[in-house]
Amino acid sequence: MRICRFQRELGGPVRVGLVELDLVYDVTAVADLLPSQRWPYPAGDQFIANLDMLRPAIVNAAKASEPLRLEDILLKCPVANPGKFICGVGNHISVLDRGGHPRDLGLLFKMTSAAAGPSDGVILRWADRVTFHEIELAIIIGNGGTLIQRGAALDHVAGYAIGLDMTMQGKEFPSFGKSFDSYGVIGPWMVTADELPDPTALTFELTVNGIVKTADTTANFILNVAELVEHVASIMTLHPGDVIFSGTPPASVGPVVPGDLMHARFDGIGEMTVAVAAGKPGSQPPR
């Protein structure tokens, strides 16, 4: 199942869609089946937390929906309410040659207000600073937990998407440079985990203005998906809708500037094009 969030026009309401080939079926009505909540609200994205319960209703709603063409909609981040974005560090075999290992390097974090979808693009608020692209596998948690063992880790994954972990370079702490609005692009949709039972050898590619910048495979990750979930859950409790960014080959990251077009592709997930634009002048506060 491929589940997206979309708008029919800029500024319009965000809908939920089921993607089949190049068509989208509006299944927003299934959200009415979610359990009613009162404050204090439970942690996590409740649509994803209840996805197994909603799946039959999604199929039925799609049958009653008029299809829309993918080219006629605006794709948003498929996770409406992520609790946290966790970024893998040094998770590529090339790092081993330099004596590094992701378990020794820890983790980085991105504020969830950085979430964006393909149609939102990446906005460079501080245009005088350099921002790098990083294509990654976005692992979307479905069943929460902590101290999760790798043998059970995939049971906690709701699905996968393409992630662009944009990072502004500089002397600030790395999580600062990752947390600008629009610096956490996720899309084009969430592919449910049953569609990708083995995420350990997926090829992926990122081009900028048609030039290949990254071409690799998840087989080159030091920690595979199950091990990465185990690594994160050894430190913190995971909740539905949390997103783990897998890491990327360090040598392949590079700068983007306003006007660039990034095209990201991942086996088993799909592809998306994301535009880079400049922020409003004067958005960087003076010293």
Burial (0-12, 13-18, 19+ Cβ within 10 Å), 42: exposed
Helices (H), the chain: 46-49, 51-63, 93-96, 102-105, 150-153, 174-177, 225-233
The domain of 89 spans: 81-278
- The answer for residues whose C-beta is within 8 angstroms of residue 180's C-beta and 6 or more apart is 114, 123, 125, 126, 131, 166, 168
Distance CA 34, CA 270 (A): 28
Which are the contacts of 143, defined by CB distance < 8 A and separation ≥ 6?
155, 156, 158, 240
Determine, yes or no, domain membership for 133.
yes
pTM, two decimal places: 0.96
**Is 24 part of any domain?**
no
Q: Could you read off the pLDDT of 226-271 as tens digits, one per residue?
A: 999 999 999 999 999 999 999 999 999 999 999 999 999 999 999 9
- In this structure, are residues 159 and 192 in contact, taking their beta carbons and an 8 Å threshold? yes
pLDDT single digits (tens) 69-113: 999 999 999 999 999 999 999 999 999 888 789 999 999 999 999
CATH number, domain at 127?
Answer: 3.90.850.10
State pLDDT tens for residues 164-218.
999 999 999 999 999 999 999 999 999 999 999 999 999 999 999 999 999 999 9
**What was the pLDDT predicted at 121?**
98
pLDDT in the model for residue 98: 81
137 and 93 Cβ atoms separated by less than 8 Å: no
Sign of the dihedral through C-alpha 188, 195, 113, 263: negative
Decide if 65 is inside a domain: no
**Per-residue pLDDT for 282 more than 80?**
no
Asked whether residue 242 is domain-assigned, the answer is: yes
Residue 283 CB partners (closer than 8 Å, separation 6+):
125, 126
Q: Which residues 6+ apart lie within 8 Å of 74 measured at CB?
A: 6, 7, 8, 9, 10, 117, 119
> Beta-carbon neighbour count of residue 283 at 10 Å?
13
User: Helix, strand or coil for residue 59?
Assistant: helix
Whole-angstrom Cα distance, residue 197 to residue 80? 24
- Is position 46 within any domain? no
What's the domain count of the chain?
Answer: 1
Question: What element of type H or E holds 19?
Answer: strand 15-20
Asked if residue 69 is part of any domain, the answer here is no
State the average pLDDT over residues 1-19.
97
In a domain, 11, yes or no: no
